[in-house]
């Protein structure tokens, strides 16, 4: 599963569908611009490729989420 950062404020897992991509939220940060974090974890919503970037291991530290080896991240 590819880990991504959506609009700089949400860490999630990218789901590739037939017609669109979606992100399953691992953690959203109101300090970085998310509307809220209550009840968002686990929510899945559609996204466009220009709205996210591949996450790094550092992003997991920054969002205070435990990285798992199944999560594909960027080396940068």
More confident residue, 37 or 75: 75
pLDDT of residue 4: 97
pLDDT of residue 73: 97
Find how far residue 1's CA is from the centre of its chain: 11
pTM value?
Answer: 0.85
Other Cβ atoms within 10 Å of 6 Cβ, number: 19
The answer, yes or no, to whether residue 37 has pLDDT greater than 60, is: no
E strand map for 1-76: 3-6, 10-16, 21-28, 44-47, 52-54
pLDDT of residue 40: 55
Contact (CB, 8 A) for 56 and 73: yes
Task: Return mean pLDDT, the chain.
Answer: 87
Euclidean distance between CA atoms 50 and 56, whole angstroms: 17
The label of the residue with tokens 């709205």 reads: 51
């Amino acid at each position: 599963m590819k880990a991504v950062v959506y609009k700089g404020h949400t860490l999630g897992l990218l789901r590739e569908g037939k017609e669109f991509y979606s992100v399953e939220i691992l953690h959203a940060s109101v300090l970085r611009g998310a509307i809220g974090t209550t009840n968002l974890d686990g929510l899945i919503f559609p996204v466009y490729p220009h709205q996210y970037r591949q996450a790094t291991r550092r992003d997991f530290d920054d969002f205070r989420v435990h990285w798992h080896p199944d999560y594909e991240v960027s080396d940068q």
